[in-house]
Amino acid sequence: MLREDGPHALIAFDLGAEEYRMVSLPECGAVDFYLKFEVLNGCLCVRHYYLKKGVDLWVMKEYGVKESWTKLICIEQSNIRFAIYLEPLPYSKNGKKVLLQHDFRSFRWYDLEKKTIEMVGINGEPDHFGTTVCLGSLVPLDGGRPDDSKDQATKDKKKEKVIRR
């Protein structure tokens, strides 16, 4: 039976081995908090929301290794209104900042070295919005083989030539 001390746990299912296992969570030292799991730059990410206190963002640098949890961001509620609604998006190109969506209304850069937050202004930004980070994939959405589209394109060109003659 899977168990972990405390009320919060992350259970992973290995599709290849068809086995469940516990993934250790970072030590947060608090009792009243909410968890939100995400992926940031290919790493497992956990947001700890502390009631009326703020938010911590942890990243697991090496999957499955408890000691690899690193606290990336710590923002107190007094530093930003509604810190509970901060959602990490991608890193900046130089890796020194993390883009955060805030309260479905704005974007902020969090500077990892200076530990500061900077508002990002976007012309024409709507009052409310949602964001999703999408990763490119070579797997087609229609379930076909990746090379099927090339074969179909070649067939379509041959048909086009026949029709033109």
In this structure, what are the phi and psi dihedrals at residue 148, rounded to the nearest 5 degrees? -60, -35
User: Which pLDDT value is given to residue 156?
Assistant: 56
Degrees to nearest 5, angle at CA 64 with 49 and 7: 40
**pLDDT single digits (tens) 106-163:** 788 889 999 988 888 776 666 766 666 666 666 666 665 555 555 555 555 555 555 5
- What is the value of pTM for the model shown? 0.65
Residue 134, CB-side half-sphere exposure with 13 Å CA sphere: 5
Pick from 41, 45, 51, 52: which is nearest to 25 by CA?
Answer: 45
Q: How far is CA 135 from CA 26, 42, 90, 106, in A?
A: 26, 10, 11, 22
* Edge-to-edge strand list for the sheet holding 86-91: 86-91, 97-102, 106-111, 116-120
